[in-house]
Amino acid sequence: MNYFPDEVLEHVFDFITSHKDRNSVSLVCKSWYKIERYSRQRVFIGNCYSISPERLIARFPGLKSLTLKGKPHFADFNLVPHDWGGFVYPWIKALAKSRIGLEELRLKRMVVSDESLELLSKSFVNFKSLVLVSCEGFTTDGLAAIAANCRFLRELDLQENEVDDHRGHWLSCFPESCTSLISLNFACLRGEVNLGALERLVSRSPNLKSLRLNRAVPLDTLQKLLMRAPQLVDLGIGSYVHDPFSEAYNKLKIAIQRCKSIRSLSGFLEVAPHCMSAIYPICGNLTFLNLSYAPGLHGNKLMKLIQHCRKLQRLWILDCIGDKGLGVVALTCKELQELRVFPSDPFEAENAAVTEEGLVLVSAGCPKLNSLLYFCQQMTNAALITVAKNCPNFIRFRLCILDPMKPDPVTNQPLDEGFGAIVQSCKGLKRLSLSGHLTDQVFLYIGMYAEQLEMLSIAFAANSDKGMLYVLNGCKKLRKLEIRDCPFGDAALLEDVGKYETMRSLWMSSCEVTLGGCKSVAEKMPSLNVEIIDESEQMEFNLDDKQKVDKMYLYRTLVGHRKDAPEYVWIL
């Protein structure tokens, strides 16, 4: 029963913006469900195969913004075959046919064709924002369609996509009448762009706040762009190679000094390290610095740059910074919340320049640290215990020791105690990735202490099924579990199949689960899709239940088996 008219409730619901909260609101009663669904404008779908576009449209007629994720996370590491799925076209087609006034589309790990982009660009008059992250399947022709047809486009944000660059004139396709751009990120494109068109576009975009250029944009164009857009808040530099005694460099210095609003800096896709001093004037205000694509910047030049960045909250860097460089970070960046250290040479663990020492330094110097991604050569239990003590606020803790299954080099022990300390200390931990030599013991700790854990990534760990069972039994809030190369078999998989309905997905590859085990899950849980991915063609000839399954991906769904799976995917 409602004590308020619907309009009042709707107004109240407007203040509830998080997806989780809105989902909760919709469950209160039928009346609230109805009001909520008509007023809902933003929908997040973490697995595009969990629901169909038709049902989405039916439930939320007022939809304006849709976020979709496709492939499982391990697809990033080439564990999922190329054409496994995650096609956005059916979604766009269904939305286009409906009366949904789509304004924003955000996609991650999906296959996006030029055809999709073209349909998108022509179907929604008020379309404003396209964000593509780790997607593939499109070319610059598709981007040209977006540029040409979306008259009120505010945001075109391409992050780490595989784009076939036809070196066309997609930038020139923005009509002269397009003056609404707020955000333009094309850093991941490899081809040439029409520099004149870019300059003109930036000139007529007074609201432009975020601009991330690709490698093909040279320094003197950068300087011209900055002169035209001193209001930028987020800048991604393409090429930063020039002669420090040149006119262009002097002009750049002047242009940068005018940009008093820049808070976020990235790129340096090509860099001449001796010219970084031009950047110093804006470093003092930076809250986000991403140098993870700038291997040319290291050593003293890098450290000097960082020493200017006292307000940094997020730092993405390559491991050539070294433990010493991380020491500089620890001394300088007292506001640091997020640190990501990527490997500059992923196959050369010996040359990896960061170890446990760097991490300990940062943990000691940066008490606000709550998010970590750290690729390193080695880690010790002692270091992890210290880090856990220094930084009890971790929400995300992802550690990757480059040499799989490497133990603590000082004690030769597994890293169970170290990670155990992390989960025990960091009561708000939501995401954890493990590496190094680990036994079942670490999973006992995770099950016991990681009460808020939502996502867990495991590789080359554990001794037995017990490991997986500790996690499944203990982590009540677990949503995503991804496992590779662990000795977990059917006993663990089948212990509590109901659990998987409370999760988004489970990935297991190179483990001990058998075809029979997977079939059993599928039989008992019709609300799950259990997919076996097998490219070896062995499945066709050998349907022995005892056969081990190379890759299994299961996920809850309301719409049953998907129809677009390729030949080598068996949905049980």
Partner 1 sequence: MGKEGLGLEITELRLGLPGANSDSGHRCDVMIDKNEKKRAFSEILEDDVEEGNRKKTTIKSQVVGWPPVCSYRKKNSFSDKDGSAKASKMYVKVSMDGAPFLRKIDLGMHEGYSHLAKALEKLFGEALRNAESCEFVPIYEDKDGDWMLVGDVPWEMFMESCKRLRIMKRADAKGFGVLRSKEALN
Does residue 41 contact residue 62 with C-beta atoms inside 8 Å?
yes
To partner 1, the closest distance from the beta carbon of 86 in angstroms equals 15
In whole angstroms, how close is the CB of 296 to partner 1 at the nearest point?
7
The upper half-sphere exposure of residue 419, i.e. CA atoms within 13 Å in the direction of its Cβ, equals 35
Closest contact distance (angstroms) between CB of 250 and partner 1 is 27
Are 266 and 187 in contact by the 8 Å Cβ rule? The answer is yes
Nearer to partner 1, 160 or 495 (CB): 160
Q: How far is the CB of 537 from partner 1 (least distance, A)?
A: 8
Residue placing its CB nearer to partner 1 in the complex, 452 or 510: 510
Length of the chain: 572
Cβ atoms of 316 and 291 closer than 8 Å: yes
Query: In the complex with partner 1, which residue's Cβ is closer, 162 or 523?
Result: 162
Residue keyed to tokens 């299954």? 405
Residue written as tokens 């010219």?
275
Pairing mode, if any, of strands 551-556 and 505-509? antiparallel
- Comparing CB distances to partner 1, the nearer of 71 and 228 is 71
User: Which residue's CB is nearer to partner 1, number 134 or number 264?
Assistant: 134
- Between 258 and 548, name the residue whose CB sits nearer to partner 1: 548
**CB contact set of 395 (below 8 Å; sequence gap of 6+):** 370, 371, 426, 428, 429, 430, 431
Q: How near is the Cβ of 435 to partner 1 at its closest, in Å? A: 9
CB 538, min distance to partner 1, A: 6
300, with CB counted inside 10 A (0-12, 13-18, 19+), is: exposed
**Cβ atoms of 426 and 388 closer than 8 Å:** yes
Burial of 268 (0-12, 13-18, 19+ CB in 10 A): buried
- Cβ atoms within 10 A of the Cβ of 534, count? 20
Short-list 4, 37, 7, CA closest to 22: 37
Please calculate the CA angle 71-435-340 and round it to the nearest 5 degrees. 70
Sign of torsion, CA 80 83 88 94? negative
Burial class (CB in 10 A: 0-12, 13-18, 19+), 348: exposed
Q: For residues 132 and 182, which CB has a smaller minimum distance to partner 1 in the complex?
A: 132
What is the C-alpha to C-alpha distance for residues 434 and 468, in angstroms, rounded to an integer?
13
Please say which residue, 209 or 480, places its beta carbon nearer to partner 1. 480
Least distance between partner 1 and beta carbon 341 (Å)? 12
Among the listed residues 413, 402, 405, 369, the one whose alpha carbon sits nearest the alpha carbon of residue 388:
369
Element (H, E) at 44: strand 42-45
Q: Which is nearer to partner 1, 6 or 345 (CB)?
A: 345
- If the CB atoms of residues 245 and 347 are measured against partner 1, the closer one turns out to be 347
Query: Which residue, 342 or 500, has its beta carbon nearer to partner 1?
Result: 342
CA dist 2 → 17, 28, 31 (Å)? 21, 11, 8
Minimal distance, residue 233 CB to partner 1, in Å: 24
Minimal distance, residue 136 CB to partner 1, in Å: 9
CA distance 507 to 357: 33
Nearer to partner 1 (CB atom), residue 103 or residue 550: 550
Report, in Å, the least distance between residue 229 CB and partner 1: 25
User: Which residues make up the interface to partner 1 (CB under 8 A)?
Assistant: 74, 76-79, 134, 160-162, 188, 269, 292-293, 295-296, 318, 342-349, 375, 400, 402-406, 433, 437, 457, 459-460, 484-485, 510, 534-538, 542, 547-548, 550
Q: Which is nearer to partner 1, 385 or 515 (CB)?
A: 515
Place of tokens 């000691």: 364
Q: How far is the CB of 22 from partner 1 (least distance, A)?
A: 31
Residue 271, both tokens: 């860099």
Q: CB of 129 within 8 A of CB of 105?
A: yes
10 Å Cβ neighbour count for 386?
18
Shortest distance, CB of residue 79 to partner 1, whole angstroms? 5
**Cα-trace Rg, the chain:** 25
Shortest reach from residue 216's CB to partner 1, in Å? 14
